[in-house]
Amino acid sequence: MKAITVILVLAMAGFAFGQSGNIFDYNQDAFQLTQKYTQVNQAPDDPAGVSPVEKKSPGKALLLSAIIPGAGELYAESYLKAILFFGIEIGAWTGVAIYQAEGNDKEDQFLEYADYHWSQGQYWGWLETLESWTTPGVEKEWNPDLGGEYYPYNIYNQFENDNGFTHNLPATQNQQYYEMIGKYMTQFGPGWDDADLDLTINDDNFYFWDGDYTLSSEYYMDLRYKSNQALDKAAYFFQAVMLNHVLSALDAGFTVRLKNRKLETAMNIVPQNYQGGPVAMGTITINW
């Protein structure tokens, strides 16, 4: 570390005024003392008597804020920014928790609602009545989930394809299942408990349901929409969390580097012995 020390003589009573009190007079001894001690010395690194200024690690600051936003700023003694980044962290995680819980709650609601108001058995029955068709060599099987005899799933899926439908109802109630029953009403509308099955029409030997959204399906889709909106907001808040970690880490590292490069100035008054008596002197030490 390099240091420049400037020693200023504060000879209050001898430099500015001579013993006679004449402002144009001066004390020769004080003048010589000034010449002796008023100087600029460039000292070697860490000279004796000069306390080195402790530098902080930019990497450590960056890592701290990458883990906990604001921690690196606290390490850098930038307290206001530490409070800011940590406050954003708390707020963002609060948003994630609130909207994730709301989205999950709405999802549970629409799943339960669909299971009660949309009937897979009614949908399969509608497919059978579109055309009084039979499949030679294939017998109906007892389906405990539907509570009756139905053709195997692959037979119904094949009929969906033959009739020109663009989707096959999954055999399991997965995410795609719950999406399709509310989205594609011309095919899956007849499965809702308030659907008018008489609205089925035949267009060039392709059958489809010509009804609009029913009250049940509209309420179901509204629940899905609210769930998706809440989950999207939770995702946005989580993105804010990640961004806050990155920005805080970069800021902490930059702040420490800037402080390490910044000149640090310390000034104090030190006594010096001159001709058997103490003399007050001002000392300015600049480290970089």
The mean pLDDT of the chain is: 79
Q: What is the DSSP string of 255-281?
A: HHHHHHHS-EEEEEEEEEEETTEEEEE
Q: Which of 50-54, 59-63, 135-139 has the lowest mean pLDDT?
A: 50-54
What's the pTM value of the predicted model, to 2 decimals?
Answer: 0.68
Residue 284 banded pLDDT, cuts 50, 70, 90: low
Q: 60: part of which helix (H) or strand (E)?
A: helix 58-67
Which whole-number Å values give the CA distances from 54 to 6, 46, 76, 163, 288, in the listed order? 21, 11, 12, 80, 11
- CA distances 201 to 103, 138, 180, 193, 278, Å, are 38, 27, 20, 19, 113
pLDDT at position 44 over 70: no
Distance CA 23, CA 9 (A): 18
* pLDDT value of residue 72: 94
Least confident of 4-18, 25-39, 110-124: 4-18
Q: Tell me: pLDDT of 182 over 90.
A: yes
* Residue that is written with structure tokens 């590292």 in the block: 253
| Strand 40-43 to 3-9 pairing | antiparallel
